[in-house]
Amino acid sequence: MDKARKRDFKIELFDQFARMGKALASGRRLELIELLAQKEHTVEDLARLSDMSVANTSQHLKILRSAQLVEVRRLGLYASYRLADERVFRLWQALRELGDSRIAEIDRVVNSFLTDRKSLKAISTEELKRRLKDRSVVVLDVRPPDEYRAGHIPGARSIPVAELKARLKELPRSREIVAYCRGPYCVLADEAVEWLRARGRNALRLEQGFPDWEAQGFPVEHVPQG
């Protein structure tokens, strides 16, 4: 292969890899990836969860699909989207972790919005797995019920934040409560822990989210579809 052909080969090859980078170059699309890491969603569901219009959501999904990061499944008149495979989540996870360690602005944003986070004790996925074996904690999944049904940490109880007040009696006072949601920047677990601690419960948050637990190969439970 002559020098010119080698150069053309390298240019075309790296341009193909760059398609993924271009698809990830949007905060809204990264948010969609995090939502799809929980379960399949229709365009309408994703629009509602991300506070975007259906048209904008569809356009972002089109870009992700063109880069082979998401797949679509037709359900009659509806289209359901999912991550192409588990490596897409790991790509987002690696980007998230690199950004957290290298970009100081991320820490500033987190501290500006999650002002009480430093006072909320956290637990790692490894520690939670260990403590599940001795049954010393109650695990609380505060994501929407459909995400819980699609997959959750074994033994976790599904109590969305909005239902905590009505269902507080379901949580024993004698055991520590670990709340988790979609990921390390999901505010639902923070809200649940803060609310529970204000009412005298010993509660802490999982440092990461359900997709991180699953990506580590830890056990997962599903609710059978009726």
pLDDT at res. 78: 82
Characterise 122 by phi-psi region: left (phi > 0), alpha (psi -120 to 50), beta (else): beta
| pLDDT over 70 (residue 208) | yes
Model pLDDT for residues 49-96, shown as the tens digit of each residue: 999 999 999 999 999 999 999 999 987 888 899 999 999 999 999 999
Tell me the pLDDT band of 182, cut-offs 50, 70 and 90.
very high
Burial 17-52 (b: 16+ CB within 10 A, else e): eeeeeebbeeeebbbbbbbbbbbbbbbebbbebbeb
pLDDT at res. 124: 96
Q: Which of 47, 67, 181, 186 is catalytic?
A: 181
Task: Select from 225, 205, 182, 184 the least CA-distant residue to 96.
Answer: 184
| pLDDT over 90 (residue 157) | yes
Q: Which of 29-38, 114-123, 147-156 is least confident?
A: 114-123
Tell me the pLDDT band of 9, cut-offs 50, 70 and 90.
very high
Q: Distance of CA 97 to CAs 66, 69, 93, 103, 148, Å?
A: 25, 19, 6, 10, 24
- Is residue 181 part of the annotated active site? The answer reads yes
Phi, psi of 87 (to 5 degrees): -70, -20
| pLDDT over 90 (residue 115) | no
What domains lie within the chain, and their CATH numbers? 3-88 (1.10.10.10), 113-215 (3.40.250.10)
Residue that wins the pLDDT comparison between 18 and 114: 18
Q: Is 213 exposed, middle or buried (0-12, 13-18, 19+ CB in 10 A)?
A: buried
| pLDDT over 70 (residue 226) | no
- Indicate the average pLDDT of the chain: 94
Radius of gyration of the chain (CA): 20
Model pLDDT for residues 13-51, shown as the tens digit of each residue: 999 999 999 999 999 999 999 999 999 999 999 999 999
| pLDDT over 80 (residue 6) | yes
